[in-house]
Structure 1
Amino acid sequence: MKTAIVHDWLVNYGGAERVVEQMLLLYPDADIYTLVYDEKKMGKIFPKEKVHTSSLQKIPMAEKLYTKFLSLMPKAFEEFDLTGYDLVIASSSCCAKGVITSPTTPFIAYIHSPMRYAWDLYYDYLKNSGRLTKFFMKRWMPDIRKWDYISSQRIDTLVANSSYIARRIKKFWNRDAAVVYPPVDTDRLSVSDEAAGDYFVVFSRFVPYKRIDLAISACARLNKKLIVIGSGSQEKELKLLAASCKNADIKFTGRISDSEVKAYLQKCRALIFCAEEDFGIIPVEAQACGRPIIAFGKGGALETVVNEKTGVFFEEQSVESLVKAIEEFEKLDKENTFNPKKIREHAEKFSAENFRKNLSEQIRLTEDKVRNYI
């Protein structure tokens, strides 16, 4: 069966690219279609001979400037001729789901999220943009929204990466979506035989919406040790915050190897997760190490963390709310509420193997649905 996998862009390796990697395990001979491709960064994972890029690849520095091409993306994806394929699968958080397929070709789209900057987060992006970006956003976004809705209607089956995203799909596209959780590499993680250490962990990119500042301030207030793993645009700001906090015992590791991250996760008291995410892979990875989560109680965390079994939630993105959650966690932890082996068992529900199995089932159902129309 000749299969095409369509992905927004291949310029960095992250959670969405893990999904494409797993799709290729299901269909090793599939061709990949994408907006732009950075061979230096992605060539080992996605070989050049498998990748077909859009006309925008010809623009100098395209792999760095691609986010500026939003108004050109719909046309770029619609230019791909997929008429020779027996199955088309899209992996999309932007415009990849907008390719045009034959009525007789099953077309399934795995949606990481509808375009955040076009819909519910439009005003946040607008507020934080410069004058020129604001001008073009106001001018282009109404047409982008129209195209985004219209293109969503020509997909046979929509699959969301969480119930949270399924709700956003229903809100903005008025389509129902099946839920298949994204793949987490639980096999490379394990529960340590050693007792937990005396520290909490944050593991994240240093960007504003991750709200790492809450974890730093709350741990400083409670005089708790915090290990902060990662890097990003907020690094200087977060280090200044930590330095200004009295009683702060905050260690920044920078970017470290997977094995070092694993060691920190295995022995932490808990992972602190302050973001509102569509899904959130890192909390699942910590649970795969048998460690509980202290999470903001919105978004994907509500689907990956079980309250008072694999972690606890805080209700507001505020220092006060997080402080209360840490205190509640410590109370439950003293009562031996959190069983590492059971936490690990819960995390295994989100394994890559389960992702492939569940996605395969949605593909089979889509093929049956299309076949019944022919």
Structure 2
Amino acid sequence: MPGSRPGRPAVAIAHDYLTQRGGAERVVLTLLEAFPDAVVHTTLYDAEGTYPQFRDARIVTSPLNRVGPLRRHHRAALPLLAPAASRLRVDADVTVVSSSGWAHGFDIRGRRLVYCYSPARWLYQTDDYLGAGRRGPAGLAVGALRRPLVAWDQRAARAADRYLAISRVVQDRIRSTYGIEADVVPAPHSMDAAGEADPVPELADWAAEGYLLLVSRLLPYKNVDKVVDAVATTGHRLVVVGRGPEEAALRARSGPGVRFLSGLSDAQLRWIYAHARLLVAPSVEDFGLTPLEAATFGVPTVALRGGGYLDTIVEHRTGEFFDDSQPAAIRAAVRRAEEATWSREALQLHASAFTAGPFVERIREEVAQLSSN
């Protein structure tokens, strides 16, 4: 194999940090299905904060991982992550880099294939990423170090042998930020409607009638507050699944018709999706994962028109769009969706096109191509 060295692993996986449960972490688990012998290299790893399946993987971390508070609050590590990333050595014939801003800057020996969720939000969309925290230590550090951080990030991007984008909007962003042309490879969802479903006691009294569902990290740009306000006067029941720095503020503005949940098992999440009437997706996302998860259970979505949702929702077939994130527009879209007739079979067929099989096959092909060059 060109570029290979005796004793060096064929494939390694690099990821920004494993401290939470989200779509990017699901992708890493799928990469481990594709390359079960691969070691995962990451800056921070919090076994309690991310998916339990990672306990079965071999994980190498940066020295920052010795600092417990940083594992639990990775945004506090932001000023330290660039130098930590630069020193995290990965030695393999091909490294599959799962990144939204840090892992593509690891000290990678061998070829590198970058699967990009977005050019760094912390650098190019700082206010959205940090929210109120932009006035805190992390925000001040990014402001003071912006010029060298941009230079570091651009160098890291240019070091890649191949870039893949999770969606068309990210493809455009990679082109405008780095001048790199990237093919679009949609991420897989991992929901299985036939899998075990464990009831969630906190929702037992809502299960029969159903509810609106929102699955999201609780960050400022996610527009969860707009959905909370939208249902305040309608009598709708809203379940919010996720955690993040905006949780306290969101709880404070919510009435009894809104319930917040986090730390759920996969079986509990399946139960929650199965009993929802509609998924509400109110933010501009790099990739529209949650509508695919909902569609697996025959649940349609109302979503903000834009971003990755344009890749994963078929209007009037698997969901409805609203054109701005104001409460009135959200309410109108929910009303249209409730009045429409939806085909469970059509929803599930659409979701089946975004499963792990096609993704794994494509990534393996990309790795094989790099290995042979």
2:316 to 308, 311, 318: 308
1:155 to 160, 181, 185: 160
Matched with 1:289 is 297
Q: CA deviation at 1:364?
A: 2.8
Distance 1:354-1:211 versus aligned 2 partners, 3 A rule? same
For residues 128 and 265 of structure 2, the distance between their equivalents in structure 1, rounded to whole angstroms, comes to: 37
The residue identity in structure 2 corresponding to 1:219 is V
Kindly indicate whether residue 120 of structure 2 is the aligned counterpart of residue 115 of structure 1: yes
CA RMSD of aligned residues (A): 3.0
Which protein is bigger by CA-based radius of gyration? 1
For residues 302 and 216 of structure 1, the distance between their equivalents in structure 2, rounded to whole angstroms, comes to: 23
1:141 to 146, 150, 167: 146
Matched with 1:97 is 104
Instruction: Give deviations 1:83-126, integer Å, cap 9, x for gaps.
Output: 5x221111111211113445xx3310111221112113457748
Matched with 2:280 is 272
Matched with 1:246 is none
Instruction: Give deviations 1:290-331, integer Å, cap 9, x for gaps.
Output: 111010111111111111110100000101211221232234
The residue identity in structure 2 corresponding to 1:341 is E
Q: CA deviation at 1:357?
A: 1.7
Matched with 2:221 is 209
What SS class does the counterpart of residue 202 from structure 1 fall into? strand
For residues 126 and 232 of structure 1, the distance between their equivalents in structure 2, rounded to whole angstroms, comes to: 11
Matched with 1:346 is 350
Show the 5 A alignment for 1:196-235: 197=209, 199-235=211-247
Kindly indicate whether residue 354 of structure 2 is the aligned counterpart of residue 358 of structure 1: no
Is 1:270–1:292's contact at 8 Å kept on the other side of the alignment? yes
For residues 217 and 131 of structure 2, the distance between their equivalents in structure 1, rounded to whole angstroms, comes to: 22
Q: Percent identity?
A: 27
What SS class does the counterpart of residue 215 from structure 1 fall into? helix
TM-score between both structures, scaled by the size of structure 1: 0.83
What SS class does the counterpart of residue 325 from structure 1 fall into? helix
Distance 1:59-1:151 versus aligned 2 partners, 3 A rule? same
The residue identity in structure 1 corresponding to 2:95 is V
- Ranges in structure 2 where 5+ consecutive residues have no aligned partner: 1-8, 198-206
What SS class does the counterpart of residue 71 from structure 2 fall into? helix
Instruction: Give deviations 1:252-281, integer Å, cap 9, x for gaps.
Output: 153355444433422433111112111132
TM-score between both structures, scaled by the size of structure 2: 0.83
For residues 49 and 99 of structure 2, the distance between their equivalents in structure 1, rounded to whole angstroms, comes to: 20
The residue identity in structure 2 corresponding to 1:250 is G
Q: CA deviation at 1:233?
A: 4.1
- Ranges in structure 1 where 5+ consecutive residues have no aligned partner: 244-248
Q: CA deviation at 1:46?
A: 3.3
Is 2:298–2:345's contact at 8 Å kept on the other side of the alignment? yes
The residue identity in structure 2 corresponding to 1:91 is S
Q: CA deviation at 1:221?
A: 3.6
Is 2:218–2:247's contact at 8 Å kept on the other side of the alignment? yes
Kindly indicate whether residue 24 of structure 2 is the aligned counterpart of residue 16 of structure 1: yes
For residues 276 and 67 of structure 1, the distance between their equivalents in structure 2, rounded to whole angstroms, comes to: 21
Distance 1:309-1:31 versus aligned 2 partners, 3 A rule? same
Q: CA deviation at 1:237?
A: 3.6
Kindly indicate whether residue 178 of structure 2 is the aligned counterpart of residue 183 of structure 1: no
Is 2:62–2:85's contact at 8 Å kept on the other side of the alignment? yes
Show the 5 A alignment for 1:63-102: 63-64=71-72, 66-83=74-91, 85-102=92-109
What SS class does the counterpart of residue 169 from structure 2 fall into? helix
For residues 361 and 233 of structure 2, the distance between their equivalents in structure 1, rounded to whole angstroms, comes to: 45
Q: CA deviation at 1:8?
A: 1.4
What SS class does the counterpart of residue 216 from structure 1 fall into? helix
Is 2:239–2:261's contact at 8 Å kept on the other side of the alignment? no
Instruction: Give deviations 1:153-188, integer Å, cap 9, x for gaps.
Output: 110111111111111111111101122222211324
The residue identity in structure 2 corresponding to 1:120 is Q
Is 1:9–1:35's contact at 8 Å kept on the other side of the alignment? yes
The residue identity in structure 2 corresponding to 1:347 is A
Is 1:196–1:269's contact at 8 Å kept on the other side of the alignment? no
The residue identity in structure 2 corresponding to 1:308 is H
Show the 5 A alignment for 1:218-257: 218-243=230-255, 250-252=257-259, 254-255=261-262, 256-257=264-265
Is 2:128–2:220's contact at 8 Å kept on the other side of the alignment? no
For residues 166 and 101 of structure 2, the distance between their equivalents in structure 1, rounded to whole angstroms, comes to: 14
For residues 51 and 305 of structure 2, the distance between their equivalents in structure 1, rounded to whole angstroms, comes to: 38
Is 2:42–2:59's contact at 8 Å kept on the other side of the alignment? yes
Q: CA deviation at 1:51?
A: 2.2
For residues 259 and 34 of structure 2, the distance between their equivalents in structure 1, rounded to whole angstroms, comes to: 39
Moved more, 36-45 or 272-281: 36-45
What SS class does the counterpart of residue 262 from structure 1 fall into? helix
